[in-house]
Amino acid sequence: MANSHILTENNGSVATLRLNRPEALNALNAAMLDEVKLTIEAWDADPQIRAIVITGSEKAFAAGADIKEMIDKTHLDAMAENLLDGWYCIARCRTPTIAAVSGYALGGGCEVAMMCDILLCSDTARFGQPEITIGTIPGLGGTQRLTRRVGSAKAMELVLTGRMMDAEEAERSGLVSRVVPLAELEAQAQETAQRVAGFSGAAVRLARDCVHAAGSTTLEQGIALEQRAFHSLFGTEDQIEGMTAFAEKRTPNFKR
């Protein structure tokens, strides 16, 4: 389906959202956000959609928030409209999200990619938080998510210098889970999404919640949360089905 700033596609239980402002390297503007928010929230409410791929073009996942749209904003404007806050719909989405990044993922582009549960990239990807070069700082979680992923030494250098990382450095430093050849990125992202979509929804949801919690709990709290989540899955039909299918040497048929 074509909107004006995004393209969407559904393939069974996997939905794909493609950022599509090629003339601006997919810079994130308000009109694009309106479409993204509507789409993500509708998919998240649809039980048939069990994984979401978010991607861009070969040249750019997104080169950041739209600088030209922000030039004239005042402090009051930014506060009053809670500037950029709508993009957190991606972080809040409960359906698993897979970012497939090729080319530039800068500023808000890098931050949106980091909001996704799984971050895959092509060998042509370039990541960075260049906000310092335009007199500002990351405003969509970059100082927090980048630091949690790559550690404070590298995050501090990237945020203070605006230097870009190539795909190899991004994988080595833990920003992305996997680098694949450009020609394989789409297929690998779809395959990853289909795989996640095929598992028990309850197990996927709880696994995801526990991994996310690891960034903000003590080890003891995180382990307690995981233990309770693990125990609770024994109340699901999918746990019985999964274990029975293993014992019977067949493929499980997960329901929810």
Q: Which residue among the candidates 15, 63, 65, 189 is catalytic per the annotation?
A: 65
Q: Which residue among the candidates 103, 108, 109, 142 is catalytic per the annotation?
A: 108
114 is a site residue for ligand CAA (CB under 6 A):
no
Residues of this chain, 169-208, that bind ligand CAA according to CB under 6 A: none
Residue 130 CB, nearest approach to ligand CAA (Å)? 4
Distance CA 84, CA 90 (A): 12
Residues of this chain, 30-89, that bind ligand CAA according to CB under 6 A: 63-68, 84
Q: Which residue among the candidates 35, 62, 131, 202 is catalytic per the annotation?
A: 131
Q: Does the active-site annotation cover 111?
A: yes
Residue 104 CB, nearest approach to ligand CAA (Å)? 5
Q: Which is nearer to ligand CAA, 73 or 256 (CB)?
A: 73
139 is a site residue for ligand CAA (CB under 6 A):
yes
- Report strand pairing: 126-128 vs 165-166: antiparallel
Secondary structure of 189-214 as H, E, C letters: HHHHHHHHHCCCHHHHHHHHHHHHHC
Distance CA 78, CA 58 (A): 31
165 is a site residue for ligand CAA (CB under 6 A):
no
Q: Which is nearer to ligand CAA, 65 or 203 (CB)?
A: 65
Q: Where are the alpha helices (DSSP H) in the chain?
A: 30-44, 67-70, 75-80, 89-92, 108-115, 142-150, 152-161, 167-172, 185-197, 201-213, 219-232, 237-247
| Total chain residues near ligand CAA (CB under 6 A) | 22
24 is a site residue for ligand CAA (CB under 6 A):
yes
Q: Does the active-site annotation cover 108?
A: yes
Collapsing DSSP to helix, strand or coil, 121 comes out as strand
Collapsing DSSP to helix, strand or coil, 47 comes out as coil
Structure tokens at 26: 């997919």
Distance CA 63, CA 134 (A): 13
Residue 105 DSSP code: E
Q: Does the active-site annotation cover 65?
A: yes
Query: Looking at 135-143, 151-159, 194-202, 237-245, which segment touches ligand CAA (CB under 6 A)?
Result: 135-143
Structure tokens at 53: 């791929």
- State which of residues 35, 117, 131, 226 lies at the interface with ligand CAA (CB under 6 A): 131
> H-helix or E-strand containing 178?
strand 178-180
Measuring CA to CA, which residue among 42, 48, 49 is closest to residue 96? Answer: 49
104 is a site residue for ligand CAA (CB under 6 A):
yes
- State which of residues 16, 102, 116, 142 lies at the interface with ligand CAA (CB under 6 A): 142
138 is a site residue for ligand CAA (CB under 6 A):
yes
Positions marked catalytic:
65, 108, 111, 131
* Residues contributing to the site for ligand CAA (CB under 6 A): 24-25, 27, 63-68, 84, 104, 106-108, 111, 130-131, 134, 138-140, 142
